[in-house]
């Protein structure tokens, strides 16, 4: 392509050429969001974002440093600007709603490096009504084939010292609590030091935070900065310059300090800014999904959302152990039969069994390469008889592959392990990455591991297996592309209720939907019914910070197509009336209404069951009691519904009286408005059935 300057002005694009810079601007389809690009005479490129006239991102620069070839890509000649418009609908295989609208304007800048490198790249911007996505694209070109990213220079410049919901930047763990401070008060090292329950930390520094990060502005905006379609690239953390209110991409390095190895044509993940003046809109945003590629799985009929129980919590609370040595092995045939019986009796699809395979006597913390082989059950676990026993009862065993972070070992054995599953009739696998990664020097969030997670998604899809990954990197909407990758953990989940120090404070589940869940479903494992955890070990003082009604509501507020029913059968059998909600609540939906929400305070969501006229609602609150109001206008008008309400009692309190709940039935219509009282740390779950 000749080196000429061509600025194409198309409909929806405004181009102004001033003394010092060129300006290109566009807006979202509904005009609420405005994007302005500046190319200065020195060559810097910046983007600026506003929402209904309010500053979201002040002019923020773009660029890269490459280590091969050694060149800084930060000063550009603008070669071309092209725009287009998209408005389409698509249907997810499963999800919160049955049809998703993808409506945006696209602006593509073609840039040429002003240094002698001759490198060209594109920046593709997509402006949605609820935010912005942009990515870098490196086309095939003589000047660039294989290249190594030393640093990405993408910046996000905030307009003020916003209230910020943040987590310490860490290359290996995203299982932190969220901190809520002014941007200028971020101290990630201090926050990480407070967390005693995270086994593996690779904290980046006092100024580094993870994405997604959420801001609430004094002038009423909610802003989320994140990424979408994280493929063949490391996770983007952010470095905070408090004085300049500037966040700069901090990519996760590999074993030798490089960030990404790419070959043209190549592209980065999308960098995203979701913004609204309504907190509820943020939760309803489909921007991340819309920036991902459509499903690569042709026939997806084998992918089934499911609820499952787990041979899992009893290990956490000391009733049993993963390892066989010691005489308390949980995954023994007789015990698993009980779980299968329970699942069959109450209508759950699966039974997750952890600790089934040899190796648990020597796996944790040793950075050992050859640990598990994923195909050898302990001798007291008769897998063949159990799969047969389960099959007869309409239940499936769910496989567990704990890699202990030894991913080279897992990759060697993946094919054999998945063939083993297929042979045994097992079609869902939970993977785990507890421990330092092997290849040594690699991180959970680095490019190599990101590629690994994708390989697992692709390979399980080949074998028609559903996937639930734990200790994996934050999800970025790839469940659209690989709908068999149904959930991941990738945040602090319910297991931390058993952690000795901070545990899961009541507010945690009101922040997750504004942060981690924007990227995809989480296997949070809700549904605990017993909150003192000294049931089998009287020395345990840690507890679950919740009311029982809140545990029910989490099945609605924390969307996932895979939901564990986390507590022990014997604990559920003491509260079968409340348990009924868990039996009834679906894991796939036709529609979702975010009724009310405020990060760190409360969430109230209503969802319509897939292929059914029934609705479900869930409301949760933080450590404060709260009264919310639920207008049922989403119900079909002209019909009456029976509402079964699982709620905190007047004297319920997560600290003093957590297990007290009331179950009420009411007849309601679309005109009804239900007052909801949530206890401290409490919640409310409701089922609406058309009469």
Give CB contacts under 8 A, 24+ apart, made by 607-611.
607/96, 607/556, 607/559, 608/634, 610/94, 610/98, 610/586
Q: Which residues contact 541 (CB under 8 A, 6 or more apart)?
A: 500, 534
The single residue listed with the structure tokens 């005479």 is: 41
Structure tokens given for 231: 């493929």
Residue closer to a second copy by CB (options 116, 256) is 256
* Cβ nearer to a second copy, comparing 35 with 438: 438
Give the nearest distance from C-beta 409 to a second copy in angstroms. 10
Nearest approach, Cβ of residue 255 and a second copy (Å): 3
Q: Which two tokens stand for residue 484?
A: 């068999």
Rounded to a whole number of angstroms, the minimum distance from the CB of residue 254 to a second copy is 6
* Cα distance between residue 338 and residue 350, in whole Å: 13
Q: Which is nearer to a second copy, 329 or 413 (CB)?
A: 413
- As measured in angstroms, the least distance from the Cβ of 171 to a second copy is 13
Strands 485-488 and 466-469: parallel
In terms of DSSP bridges, do strands 76-90 and 270-276 run parallel, antiparallel, or are they unpaired?
A: unpaired
SS3 annotation, 309-344? EEECHHHHCCCCECCCCCCCECCCHHHHHHHHHHHH
Q: Which of 495, 573, 598, 623 is catalytic?
A: 495
Strand ranges for 395-534 from DSSP E: 396-402, 428-432, 466-469, 485-488
Alpha carbons within 13 angstroms on the beta-carbon side of residue 158 total 32
CB of 369 to a second copy, least distance (A): 7
Which lies closer to a second copy via its Cβ, residue 140 or residue 629? 140
| Residue 518: φ, ψ to 5° | -60, -25
Smallest distance, a second copy to C-beta of residue 361, A: 11
Q: Is 495 one of the catalytic residues?
A: yes
Q: Are strands 562-565 and 589-598 parallel, antiparallel or unpaired?
A: unpaired
Q: Minimum Å distance from CB 442 to a second copy?
A: 7
Q: Strand locations in 52-184, DSSP E?
A: 54-61, 64-68, 70-73, 76-90, 100-113, 120-128, 131-138, 146-152, 155-157, 163-166, 179-182
Continuous segment of H or E residues that includes residue 21: strand 21-27
Cα angle value 13/18/20 (rounded, 5°): 120
Q: Of 368 and 393, which CB lies nearer to a second copy in the complex structure? A: 368
Q: How many CB atoms lie within 10 A of CB 430?
A: 27
Task: Please report, as ranges, the residues that interact with a second copy according to CB under 8 A.
Answer: 145-146, 254-256, 258, 261, 263, 362, 366-369, 408, 411-412, 414-416, 439-442, 448, 451, 455
- 510 near 600, Cβ under 8 Å? yes
Nearest-angstrom CA–CA distance, 676 and 652: 14
CA pair distance 343, 306, nearest whole angstrom: 12
The encoded tokens of residue 154 equal 């993408």
Comparing CA positions, the residue from 559, 493, 469 lying closest to residue 520 is 559
Nearer to a second copy by Cβ, of 236 and 437: the residue is: 437
Nearer to a second copy, 130 or 254 (CB): 254
Q: How far is the CB of 439 from a second copy (least distance, A)?
A: 3
Closer to a second copy by Cβ: residue 371 or 678: 371
Q: Measured from the CB atom, is 15 or 358 closer to a second copy?
A: 358
- Closest separation in Å from C-beta 446 to a second copy: 10
Catalytic residues: 495
């Amino acid at each position: 392509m000749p080196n000429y300057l061509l600025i194409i002005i198309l409909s929806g694009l405004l181009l102004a050429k001033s003394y010092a810079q060129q300006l290109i601007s566009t807006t979202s389809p509904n005009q609420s969001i405005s994007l302005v690009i500046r190319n200065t005479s020195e060559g810097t490129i910046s983007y600026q974002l506003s929402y209904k006239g309010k500053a979201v991102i002040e002019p923020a620069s773009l660029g890269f440093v490459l280590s091969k070839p050694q060149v800084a890509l930060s000063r550009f000649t603008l070669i071309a600007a092209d725009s287009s418009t998209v408005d389409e609908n698509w249907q997810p295989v499963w999800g919160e709603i049955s049809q998703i609208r993808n409506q945006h304007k696209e602006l593509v800048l073609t840039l040429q490096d002003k240094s002698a490198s001759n490198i060209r790249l594109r920046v593709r911007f997509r402006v949605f009504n609820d935010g912005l996505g942009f990515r870098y694209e490196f086309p095939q070109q003589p000047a660039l084939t294989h290249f190594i990213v030393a640093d990405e220079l993408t910046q996000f410049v905030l307009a003020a010292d916003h209230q910020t919901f943040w987590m310490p930047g860490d290359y290996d763990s995203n299982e932190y609590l969220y901190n809520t401070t002014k941007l200028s008060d971020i101290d990630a090292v201090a926050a990480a030091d407070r967390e005693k329950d995270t086994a593996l930390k690779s904290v980046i520094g006092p100024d580094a935070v993870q994405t997604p990060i959420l801001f609430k502005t004094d002038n009423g905006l909610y802003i989320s900065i994140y990424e979408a379609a994280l493929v063949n690239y490391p996770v983007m953390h952010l470095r905070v310059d408090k004085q300049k209110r500037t966040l700069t991409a901090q990519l996760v390095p590999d074993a030798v300090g490089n960030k990404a190895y790419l070959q043209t044509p190549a592209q980065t993940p999308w960098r995203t800014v979701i913004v609204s003046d309504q907190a509820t809109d943020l939760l309803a945003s489909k921007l991340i999904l819309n920036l991902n590629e459509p499903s690569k799985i042709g026939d997806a009929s084998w992918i089934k959302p499911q609820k499952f129980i787990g041979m899992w919590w009893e290990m956490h609370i000391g009733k049993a152990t993963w390892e066989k040595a010691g005489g308390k092995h949980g995954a023994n045939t007789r015990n698993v039969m009980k779980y299968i019986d329970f699942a069959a009796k109450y209508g759950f699809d699966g039974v997750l069994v952890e600790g089934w395979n040899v190796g648990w006597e020597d796996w944790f913390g040793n950075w050992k390469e050859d640990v598990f082989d994923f195909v050898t059950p302990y001798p007291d676990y008769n897998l063949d008889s159990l799969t047969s026993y389960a099959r007869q009862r309409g239940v499936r065993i769910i496989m567990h592959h704990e890699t202990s972070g030894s991913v080279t070992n897992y990759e060697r054995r993946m094919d054999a392990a998945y063939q083993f599953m297929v042979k045994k009739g097992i079609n869902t696998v939970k993977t785990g990455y507890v421990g330092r990664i092997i290849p040594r020097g690699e991180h959970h969030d680095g490019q190599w591991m990101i590629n690994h997670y994708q390989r697992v998604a692709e390979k399980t899809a080949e074998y028609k297996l559903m996937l639930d990954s734990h200790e994996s990197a934050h999800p970025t909407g790839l469940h659209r592309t690989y709908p068999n990758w149904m959930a991941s953990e990738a945040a602090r989940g319910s297991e931390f209720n058993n952690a000795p120090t901070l545990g899961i404070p009541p507010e945690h589940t009101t922040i997750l939907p504004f942060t981690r869940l924007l990227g995809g479903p989480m296997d949070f494992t809700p549904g605990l019914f017993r909150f003192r955890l000294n049931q089998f070990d009287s020395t345990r003082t840690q507890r679950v910070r919740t009311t029982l009604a809140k545990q029910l509501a989490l099945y609605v507020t924390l969307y996932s197509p895979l939901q564990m029913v986390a507590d022990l059968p014997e604990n559920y059998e003491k509260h079968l009336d409340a348990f009924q909600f868990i039996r009834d609540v679906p894991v796939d939906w036709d529609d979702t209404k975010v009724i009310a929400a405020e990060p760190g305070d409360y969430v109230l969501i209503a969802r319509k069951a897939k292929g059914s006229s029934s609705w479900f609602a869930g409301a949760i609150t933080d450590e404060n009691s709260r009264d919310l109001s639920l207008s049922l206008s989403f119900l079909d008008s002209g019909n009456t519904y029976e509402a079964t309400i699982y709620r905190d009692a007047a004297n319920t309190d997560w600290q003093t009286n957590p297990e007290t709940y009331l179950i009420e039935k009411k007849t309601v219509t679309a005109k009804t408005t239900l007052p909801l009282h949530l206890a401290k740390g409490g919640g409310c779950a409701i089922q609406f059935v058309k009469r």
